[in-house]
Each structure stands twice: as structure tokens, then as C-alpha cells.
Structure 1
Amino acid sequence: MSVLPNSHQALLKNLDRLSGRTTFLGLTSPALLDQVDVDGLVMTDNAGTYDLLSACESCTPAFGYDDPALVHASADTVVVFLPKSRTELSLRLALAQWLVAQGGRVILVGEKKEGIAGAVRQLQQQLPRSEKIDSVRHCQVWQAKSVTTSEAFRLADWLQWHRVERQGIALEVAGLPGIFSEGELDAGTAILLDTLAEKPLMQGRVLDFACGSGVIGAWWQRFQAENAGAVSPVDGVDVQFQAVTCARATYRRASVEGRILASDGLAVVEGQYQSVVTNPPFHTGVRTDSSITEQFLQSVSRHLVKGGELRLVANRFLPYEALIRRYIGQPSVLAENNRFVVWSARKA
């Protein structure tokens, strides 16, 4: 049996607070549902978690903040698990207040190391009659009773646009709460784009793994259009709902081509590519975790044509060189600075 996160265990000690129709926002471990005797709706923004929830007979799964299964004033109790981003907490609380029926209850649970103390201030600003009901397993559990239902919630109202520019190519990039960099150009992606300009990819299909807001795919297609004439479309894949939503919006605004897929790793990716580019994540919640990239490197070879290139940017301290050599081929350094290194390897 998998070990539940502390926040989920803290909720289990307060099951008497779950009354009537219950909705969970941001649940990360479906195993919790085996110990909760409620038929409810569970929203996650993680494609892998959603796949697991789809096999659950006692719950209705929802992927992301605009899933059709999310219905106004449909829950008597809404449980909000604390997200990593404070801006996403505002989004999640707004959705909770729209989902909860008039006079219902909203519960917030999170760990100390996740920042529950600061999160409580946000909760009290939005739902002033909130109170702490438990402190257990390094977590706090808060509730607001007799909540007034909000009448409007539109994800589009939370979408923001950011202008980014690199190597003379400018883009409007979409951002939503909870997405890495929220549409801005982070330093790792910037140095990766520099290598694309200086040492372009070979013509052919391109896959952007962990595509985020779609910066790499949109930029590369615009760069090709202005400098090479022929343009290779770029497919993007990401595990997070907000990333997939933003990447699709970025592609539409930039008038570029490519499929944007929601997937846990490469699970739904089909076919082979001439090139795979990535600025992969190395955090799970607040922990450094390079296992996502290792799993990606183990499986990406079958999606590269013979001689196809993997181009990856990563923080210098991450142990990717040996993994790239093991699963793809001999790596070389295309660019580096005091924080990042861009690796290139071709499939043998």
C-alpha cells in the first residue's frame, strides 16, 4: 500500500467534517479514496493522477480547472489541498467557492513546509470566517462554514499574456497560476533557445517534452520561418493541465503548428521524431526529484529516429550526463554557464 502524503493523512483524521456531496481539489494520491467513504468529484491538474482516478468507481474524475464535470454549486463540502504556488491557491479557492453550494463548507489542508501559514492568510481574505480545526502530521486543517456561493468562475479570466524575446524572435506567451515561470522566459530555456539559433536542429518532426507554456515550440517555428523558410512543426507534451492549456493558447496566438498533449511522461506519444528538445522539471512538490527526467530518458530513445537528436537543458548539479550516455548516446555540451548546461546527444 502506498504511503499517503501528510496532508492526506491529516484529512483522514477529520473525516467527520466531510458531509454530503464532497469535492476534492488538488488531490495527489488516489489511494486516499480507498479510506474515504464518500462518493465525490476529484479534480487534479496532473495527467498521471487523472489516469489513476479514471479507474476509480466511487468518484467522478476531473482534469483541470475547466473540466465539464465541475458544476456550479454542486458540492456540500469542498476540500482544497494546498498547491505549491500561492497564485494557484487563489485560483483553487475561487473554484471552491463557485463549486460549493450555498451554506456549504470549504476545507483547506496543507503542510508547514508547503507554506500553510501564508496560505491561511489568503484563505481568511477570501473566506473571513475560517477557523483552524486541527494541527497534525506537520499540517494544518482549516475550515470555513456557511460559505456564500460565488456566481461566476471563468478560467479565461485568470489567463495572462507575457511578451518574451530571444535572438530577435518575439512571442506572446500565455500564463496561468501554477505553471512554471507563468509564461515568462526562464534562464534555462533562454540558453537552450540560443543553441537552437546557433546550432539549429535538423529538418523534421520535433517533440518538446515538458513543454510548459509552449515557448520552445512556438519560438523554434517562428525562428525557422524567419531564417530557414521551411518550418518543422513541434508537438508538445506536458503532465500539467495549466501547461497544456497555455501551450495551446500560445500556439494559437503565434499561428504555429503542432499537437499539444496531456500525458504522464511519454505515455500517449506515438511515432518517431527527428529531434526531441526539453527543459525538464526536477521538482516534485517542494522536493528535488530527477526521477521524472530519468524515466523520460529511458523511454525517449524509441521516439527518436536513428541519428535523431536529444537536446536537453538542465541545472549543472543534476546528474544527467551519465544517463544520457546510457540511454541515448555520447553527450556533448553545446552551451553552459554557472547555472545551466545544454546537452546534445544523437541516437546511435
Structure 2
Amino acid sequence: MTSEVLEIAGKSLILQRPGIAASTLRAWDAADELLLDEALKRITAEQRVLVIDDTFGALTIGLGEFAPVSIADSASLALSLKANAARNKALQTPPEPHSWLNPPDGPFDLVVMRIPRHAEYLAWLLRWVNAQLSENGCVLAGGMIKHLPERSVDVFSAAVVTESVLPARKKARVVVCRQGKATLEGWPATWKGYEQEGLPARVEAMPAVFSRERLDIGTRELLPLVKPAVKTLNSGARVLDLACGNGVLGLTALACRDDIALTFSDVSSQAVASVEHNLKHCGYLERAQLLHSDGVPKESGKYQLIILNPPFHEGGVVGDHIALRLFKEAAEHLAADGRVLMVGNRHLGYHRTLKRYFRSVQQRAASPRFVVFEAAL
């Protein structure tokens, strides 16, 4: 059993990861430990503290006595914070974290952030932070060395003033920064996208969104099956684009029919913001619902069609645990006469796991790397 106790500054914090992987993977890593150690050396009671992209609550709860404001792209942080705060009853329960759909206002004196795996998201974050940092504010940016993006040194130097790079510890690194002059105003990389046949506008996305500059190869396999599936639906049918990313699958469904109700759901707030952006540009905004959610909310009701290209990694962890949870939730929210269209990497063997939740599982398309399935109850 993996340890659930994080020892930091004389405190013992009980932290768990939610979901299937909870018993085998810790809810923090060495980068969290290094960030907490350095933050606690520098922080003072009167400072305003911001935590960015905390994973499972270690940073926010570890700095809880200083009442940090927390913002994360992922909707899963809110669930993790609530659960882990309940495990540490002596500590104050942190407030609901912000997302990029409702970012907090600065200024902040200390920013503690996880370095993302993608260079453009890091560049975006640092430019956003520059506008929120107090004049003498400090940024502590940390991550596991193997997960740092390529060109990260160049990204930091272009956006902020790097004061020091702390010695590595347990394969983790922390960079100490001061406010730079670069901001998001006029920065051309906030939105990138591509033209997609059949849609009236470019499909664009923000930096945290997967495959924002081109149609990813899994979606390319699934997309040709969306139009035929949508055309068979009754008027007023409800369709869910689950783990929607930039929303290209759901947008394609809306382009086919103007009498269906489309819901887009994604764990990433930048993905949800990107879908809203694309809906506006396509003229479909009034015909859709947007959910920033880690999966399908229980109150969502039933859908006649669910479209799914599930992620197969969570941070540095690769596996099928996310897909399994999404399959289960899709089955729970599928109408009796509904169906799920999904694509997955061939090596993950989804044809077996889908049968845990669906009576009918049929292969509809395949390539050397991906397989498309249709599932029904």
C-alpha cells in the first residue's frame, strides 16, 4: 500500500488520489514537497498566496494556514480538495478552487505553481501570472524533471525574470522567478486551430487543450461515424460529447442537425472555454450546454448518443483507469435505446472493458493504432 501521509513542516497530512488508482499511487510527488518546503521558508502571514494547478490538493492544503487562493485547469481538483480536506479535520477547509472560466483577481505576493508538461501552456501561465503578481512578488514553479516541457528554459526566460534554479531533489526541480514584462495582451499563441470540413469556422483551442493545432488521429477515425449516427436520431434527441477537447465531434453533430440538444463536457476548463469560443464562431452557442466536469454529473439525465475519445493519461500516469470510469458513467447516462460511439488506442483492449458495462459492443472502424466501437445497453 502506498503511503497516504505527507510529512511537511512538522505536520502530517493525509492525502489520497481519487478513483481507481488511489491505492497504488500517491496524491503528491517530490515536486510538491520541494515547492512546499520553499514556500514555507518564504511566506509571511500578510502575503496573498496563489496556487496554480495543484494536482490533488497537496499544495493548497499544505499551505492552508495562509489561506491560499487556488486555480486549476482541471475540475478534478475541487473533488480532491473536498475529500482530502475532510481527511484532515484539524485543518481549515479550503474554498472552492477557481478555474480558467472564473480566474481570480490579483495582485498576489507569492505564486506556487506546478510546471505543466506542455511548453505553450507554461508560456501562457507565466504571462498570465505577470499581470497578477505584486511588484515584489515571487513565483515558485516546480515539477518532476522528466515531465518538464522541452525548451522550458527558453519559455521562462521569454516571460519572467529567473532569480534562481534550486538544486534538484528526488528528481524534482523548482525555479524561483520574479515578474517579467510579457503579458497575454497581443500574444499570438493563446488561440491556435485548424479548418475542419463541414464547419463554418475554424476549430480553435487554448494552450492546455490536447491536439489544438490539428485533428488528432483518434478523432479522425471516429469523426466519419458521427454524421450517420446523428442523422438517425429523433428530433429533440440529447447528445453528449464527453471528454470533448476542442469540441470538434460535437460541433460536427450540430452542423448535421439543428433539432438536437448537444452537451459538451470536459475536465479541462480551457477545453470548455475553447468549445464556447468555437460555438460562438460557428453560430451554435444557443443550441449547446457546457459542463466543466470530471466525467458526467449525476444530475445530467439520459442521452440518446454519447461520443467519446477518452484520455489515456493523467499527468505522468498512463493507463485505462480514466476510460473505465467514463465507460461506467456513460452506461449510467445512456438511454435504453441509445448508443455510445468511442475510439481508443488498440493496445488498451477496450473491446474487453466495454463489455463490463454494455451488452452490445461492435467494432465499427479500425486502423493500425486505433479502434472505433459502438456500444449499447
Question: TM tier, shorter chain?
Answer: 0.7 to 0.9
Question: What is the aligned partner in structure 2 of residue 76 from structure 1?
Answer: 109
Deviation track 1:10-34 (CA, whole Å, cap 9, x = no partner) reads 2133220334222111111213334
Identity %: 24
Q: Within the alignment, does 1:189 sit opposite 2:224 as a pair?
A: no
In 1: Cα distance, 2:311 partner to 2:223 partner: 17
Contact persistence 1:39–1:58 (CA under 8 A): no
**Secondary structure, counterpart of 2:224 in structure 1:** helix
- Please state how far the C-alpha of 1:219 moved relative to its aligned partner: 0.9
Question: What is the aligned partner in structure 2 of residue 49 from structure 1?
Answer: 77
Q: In the comparison of the two structures, how many residue pairs are matched?
A: 337
Please give the TM-score of this superposition, normalised by the length of structure 1. Answer: 0.88
Please give the TM-score of this superposition, normalised by the length of structure 2. Answer: 0.82
In structure 2, the CA distance between the partners of 1:240 and 1:86, relative to structure 1 (3 Å rule), is same
In structure 2, the CA distance between the partners of 1:157 and 1:47, relative to structure 1 (3 Å rule), is farther
Deviation track 1:150-197 (CA, whole Å, cap 9, x = no partner) reads 7x656997542533324x555421210110012531121122111224
Question: What is the aligned partner in structure 2 of residue 6 from structure 1?
Answer: 30
- Please state how far the C-alpha of 1:148 moved relative to its aligned partner: 5.6
Question: What is the aligned partner in structure 1 of residue 13 from structure 2?
Answer: none
- Structure 1 gap segments, 5+ residues each: 226-230
Question: What is the aligned partner in structure 1 of residue 152 from structure 2?
Answer: 119
Q: Which moved more, 1:183-192 or 1:318-327?
A: 183-192
**Secondary structure, counterpart of 1:182 in structure 2:** coil
**Secondary structure, counterpart of 2:173 in structure 1:** strand
In 1: Cα distance, 2:186 partner to 2:116 partner: 17
Alignment equivalent of 1:32, drawn from 52, 55, 59 = 59
Question: What is the aligned partner in structure 2 of residue 18 from structure 1?
Answer: 43
Q: Within the alignment, does 1:342 sit opposite 2:367 as a pair?
A: no
Question: What is the aligned partner in structure 2 of residue 162 from structure 1?
Answer: 193
Question: What is the aligned partner in structure 2 of residue 228 from structure 1?
Answer: none
Q: Within the alignment, does 1:208 sit opposite 2:241 as a pair?
A: yes
- Please state how far the C-alpha of 1:206 moved relative to its aligned partner: 0.8
| Structure 2 counterpart of 1:77, one-letter code | L
* Root-mean-square deviation (Å): 2.5
In structure 2, the CA distance between the partners of 1:169 and 1:120, relative to structure 1 (3 Å rule), is closer
| Structure 1 counterpart of 2:53, one-letter code | G
Contact persistence 1:66–1:155 (CA under 8 A): no
Contact persistence 1:47–1:63 (CA under 8 A): no
Contact persistence 2:118–2:149 (CA under 8 A): no
Question: What is the aligned partner in structure 1 of residue 166 from structure 2?
Answer: 133
In structure 2, the CA distance between the partners of 1:199 and 1:133, relative to structure 1 (3 Å rule), is closer
In 1: Cα distance, 2:170 partner to 2:185 partner: 35
**Secondary structure, counterpart of 1:331 in structure 2:** strand
Deviation track 1:106-163 (CA, whole Å, cap 9, x = no partner) reads 1111111112674233223322342112311211112124x3677x656997542533
In 1: Cα distance, 2:307 partner to 2:211 partner: 18
- Please state how far the C-alpha of 1:62 moved relative to its aligned partner: 3.7
In 2: Cα distance, 1:244 partner to 1:174 partner: 12
